[in-house]
Amino acid sequence: MLVQISIFAENNRGAMQRITGILAKEGINILGSVTNDSAEYGIVRMVVSDPERAKEKFQEAGYICRTTDVLAVEISDQPGSLDYLLRALSDSNVSINYLYLSFARERSTPIMILQTDDILEVEECLKGKGFAVL
């Protein structure tokens, strides 16, 4: 299980750079990220090397943010791998709130970051089905 930070930011020019600038200044590495936007605000979800310090620094800078537990599941880099993972979850009656792609640098493999309502149960389910949960 990993900890993800969600940052609520105004949807304006330079917003993402201000966020990445805080992380760069603190020496915090981005391991995976996805951004969802609306007309006025966006949510930047990130898995970073130090989520608690990142949250502290974002709050000091005036951002509203929170941390959430997520799972990182290694999949193979071939057609159908994501479908295989999603089918395994569907067969176990697991609902996913959202997911996004990251990359395991040390193994050069894709990693799916996913959030679900019962992280611990889903983690055990996926391990039981032979998935590598990081």
Statement: residue 106 has pLDDT above 90: no
What structural domains does the chain harbor? 2-68 (3.30.2130.10), 70-133 (3.30.2130.10)
Sign of CA dihedral 99, 128, 3, 31: negative
**94 C-beta neighbours (distance < 10 Å), count:** 17
pTM of the model: 0.85
Q: What is the mean pLDDT of residues 79-102?
A: 93
In the chain, which residue ranges form alpha helices assigned H by DSSP? Answer: 15-26, 51-60, 81-91, 119-128
pLDDT at 107: 79
- The residues near 116 (Cβ < 8 Å, ≥ 6 apart) are 71, 94, 95, 96, 97, 122
pLDDT of 39 above 80: no
pLDDT at 108: 82
